[in-house]
Amino acid sequence: MNEENRLGGQQVLYLPEGASRVLGRDAQRTNIAVGIAVANAIKSALGPKGMDKMLISDLGDITITNDGATILEEMNVDHPVAKIMVDIAKTQDKEAGDGTTTVVILAGELLRGAGELLEQGVHPTTIIKGYKFAAQKASEILKSRAKKVSEGDDATLLKIANVSMSSKNVGDDQVKNYLSKLVIKAVKQVKDKEADGKVVIDHDLIKIEKKAGGSIADTQYINGVLIDKEIAHPGMPKSIRNAKIALIDVALEIEKTEIDAKIEITSPEQMQAFLQQEEHMLKDMVEKIAHSKANVIFTQKGIDDVAQHFLSKSGIMAIRRVKKSDMEKLSKASGAKIVTSLEDLNEKDLGFAGLIEERKISGEQMVFIEDCKNPKSVTIFIRGGTQQVVDEAERSITDVIGAISSVIEDGMYVLGGGSIEVDLANELRSYSNNIGGREQLSIQKFADALEIIPKTLSESAGMDAIDTLVQLRNKHRTKEGSNTGVDIFKNSVGDMNKIGVFEPMRVKQQAIYSASEAAEIILRIDDMISSKGKGGRGGGGMPPGMGGEME
């Protein structure tokens, strides 16, 4: 497409011949349509009765899940707006740990409402301004409706965990309840407090290890760390109680010099002396470890066969080539310091574990480090009948870790089942009457968009979405019915407080902000031009959806 301008009678070309471009309302319509399409693709996955998606890669790998972030990450999307929708799901996952499907559905509905206003002649900047007002007000209302919870209130925490767990296909209610209790125990164990007294939880300190075999009910909590490695030498002990652990970032082998060196050996005696010297150096290393009174060592580096022999004779268990992340977890769990020189190794650097044992799991050796004293890193070991089941259980447990962490850190939760969304929608409609100008139209559209959550929940349960929404609106106009939401198990509306459908406030708050900001970014775009790639001149053409199809 040739674009031109005239400057003093001169024709100035500022787009090269053949450059692709989508302008104005066409660009907005395309972007809104793509955003809605992505939201519709995962809409049916919302809630405990949501459907699963089967994702098949080019290599034939199968993923079966209803986790919004996973679906979007695995989907083959090329359009830039689709990638923005994927990004907000990732942000939601990182910040709140749950609610990825909610944020994408909400963003899609905000775009749908904006599209209707654009067709009526409302300017995009007016819509954006109204959405900003609405998101800010919704956050304020959300905080006023939130309820406090303490980390000692296990009953409420369990209800929050069960709501997060309920949307995943990981066994019956009894199994979900069991897994939720494991997660709560793990999160509480690794929580820490900053200098100002604020509770912080590092998710990385909860290691999730998985192995197909057994059933989901065989999933276990380990008060320590599980390492997917085997003991270095068959002569070493397979089990040690009251273990004294040394974590060394040193290779127990004779390392090659960094510069080329030539050693001339002219007689068998010299060869023998050379080998004996190597053996003596390795023996000296092992003696330093034994002198520290360590009976178990973990190293990131390798262990020479001769060193393994001496360690075995000394009754020391050794595990080599341990990942750096696992070494850090071992340090947090056992209290051991990671040492980088054997000269400095002493008894004060050692950690403790009640039991370290090698066990065979599904035909593979794994090392269990258990019964640590007040460990600040723990492990959840997931089992399941098939790899797909184990993978989905991992995603489910990760979501629950995020939900419980955010509610313990913030100490606030809200009612689920679409109850809080209907509350927010009603309040926003009242608020819009106080706003002059056309912004009130976009605030009302924001309110309508929030109601997509109870509508989708009722649809997935086989209820009539319109009838359910009317009932909820009417109930929420009275003080007695303000807790009403969608009771998907009874296919009716019910009191979410009595049923115990609770969700972390942060999940809802982050979803509102992320969805609103994504919609605002997309609505600001009125011109899409193919740009030159990072590698040099010339673009690769417009992505599908800018003249093609979204895949």
Catalytic residues, which ones?
Answer: 67, 100-101, 399
Which residue in this structure is represented by tokens 């056309």? 438
Q: What is the 3-state secondary structure (H, E, C) of 450-470?
A: HCHHHHHHHHHCCCCHHHHHH
Helix (H, G, I), strand (E, B) or coil at 360: strand
CB 99 within 8 A of CB 509: no
DSSP string, 235-299: TS-SEEEEEEEEEE-S-BS-PPPSS-------SHHHHHHHHHHHHHHHHHHHHHHHHTT-SEEEE
Q: 227 pairs with which residues across the strands? A: 367
Which residue in this structure is represented by tokens 């409302």? 122
C-alpha–C-alpha distance, residues 219 and 382, integer Å: 5
231-267 b/e (C-beta count within 10 Å ≥ 16 → b): bbbeebbeebeebbbbbbebbbbeeeeeeeeeeeeee
Q: How many residues does the chain have?
A: 551
Helix (H, G, I), strand (E, B) or coil at 525: coil
Structure tokens at 36: 């809605």
